[in-house]
Amino acid sequence: QKEVEQDPGPLSVPEGAIVSLNCTYSNSAFQYFMWYRQYSRKGPELLMYTYSSGNKEDGRFTAQVDKSSKYISLFIRDSQPSDSATYLCASDNYGQNFVFGPGTRLSVLP
């Protein structure tokens, strides 16, 4: 079993939709959780990170961590075509050596 699992998609939604991206992880010692956005032919860029359980909001993006079920979510409100990218989740217990999910490819259609 991979330490971080993620549905690779692709996921297509209409512009303005609420997008829900999800990951599960297996290591109960993980404390740090991150979401990255990667455009084609570019390096991953950090979107959000959270420590331990709870929610974190930044503009149209909300990250949720449920440690009891080992579930990580990223919600995108009012999705835009510019949000079309691959989204990667990552987790770690010490905040340095992150394990990445395979990424979900998202397309937001105008």
Partner 1 sequence: EAQVTQNPRYLITVTGKKLTVTCSQNMNHEYMSWYRQDPGLGLRQIYYSMNVEVTDKGDVPEGYKVSRKEKRNFPLILESPSPNQTSLYFCASSGQGEAFFGQGTRLTVV
Assess 89 for contact with partner 1 (CB under 8 A).
Answer: no
- Applying CB under 8 A, the span of 13-21, 62-70, 73-81, 99-107 interacting with partner 1 comes to 99-107
Euclidean distance between CA atoms 26 and 6, whole angstroms: 12
- Applying CB under 8 A, the span of 16-24, 63-71, 76-84, 91-99 interacting with partner 1 comes to 91-99
- Tokens standing for 69? 């079920």
- Tokens standing for 101? 């999910």
3-state helix, strand, coil in the chain (%, to 5): 5, 55, 40
Catalog residues that contact partner 1 under the rule CB under 8 A: 8, 32, 34, 36, 41-46, 49, 51, 88, 90, 95-98, 100-103
